[in-house]
Structure 1
Amino acid sequence: MGEKEKDDLLRAIFNEMQALKKTLTQQNERRIGRAEFAKLLNIEPETLDARIRDGRYIKPFKDGRKSYWFNSYVQSTVLDVGTENKATS
């Protein structure tokens, strides 16, 4: 096996491990529904829907009829909104 093949194999293994790590992290993470997400942003659920349509926030994941976002995404979004709304000195 040449150096390029070894490098490609190592890169593929690394990418697979990163995908596995992300999946395991998401499986252990709390899910946030539409109403709770909107409440954390201090907006109405309909406003959240409009912002999703505009592409401001990602579309929710689906589990059957339930829609949800992972807590880490919700928290980063809430923190970003809080940072945007602060006045600069």
Structure 2
Amino acid sequence: MKTETENSLLQAIFDDMQILKKSLTQQNEKRIGRAEFANLLNIEPETLDARIREGRYIKPYKDGRKSFWFSSYVQSVILNVEGNNKVA
């Protein structure tokens, strides 16, 4: 039987492994800029900006002056938008 300390340590190791796995995946992942993200959603870049301010989408990551989102996040947004716009 594992003690509470052992369980906490195992959970911390598991959490660290998940963070590392996500980081490694994102390093190889395509970066999507503002114009491309807006184009994929079929909206104007200004509309994308408004939705970010509303909190509907996450703020972009920054690399110097460049702003971007990872393609996995963009795909999840696109799939969520498609799922939310069903006709009754």
Instruction: Decide: shared fold, TM above 0.5.
Output: yes
Q: Which 5+ residue runs of structure 2 have no aligned equivalent?
A: none
Q: Which consecutive residues of structure 1, in runs of 5 or more, have no partner in the other structure?
A: none
Superposed counterparts of 1:22-41, under 5 Å: 22-41=22-41
Cα deviation, residue 11, structure 1? 1.2
Q: How many angstroms does 1:86 deviate by? A: 2.5
Equivalent residue, structure 2, for 1:77: 77
Once residues 32 and 8 of structure 2 are traced to their aligned partners in structure 1, the CA distance between those partners, rounded to angstroms, is 38
Note the C-alpha offset of 1:80: 1.3
| TM value normalised by structure 2 | 0.92
The number of aligned residues is: 87
Query: What is the distance in 2 between the residues matched to 1:3 and 1:33?
Result: 48
**Which aligned segments of 4 or more residues in structure 1 are displaced greater than 6 angstroms?**
none
In structure 1, the residue matched to 2:59 is: 59
Match of residue 42 from structure 1: 42
The two structures have a TM-score, normalised by structure 1, of: 0.91
Equivalent pairs: percent with the same residue?
70
Q: CA RMSD in A?
A: 1.2
Deviates more, 1:56-65 or 1:79-88: 79-88
The structural deviation recorded for 1:4 is 2.0
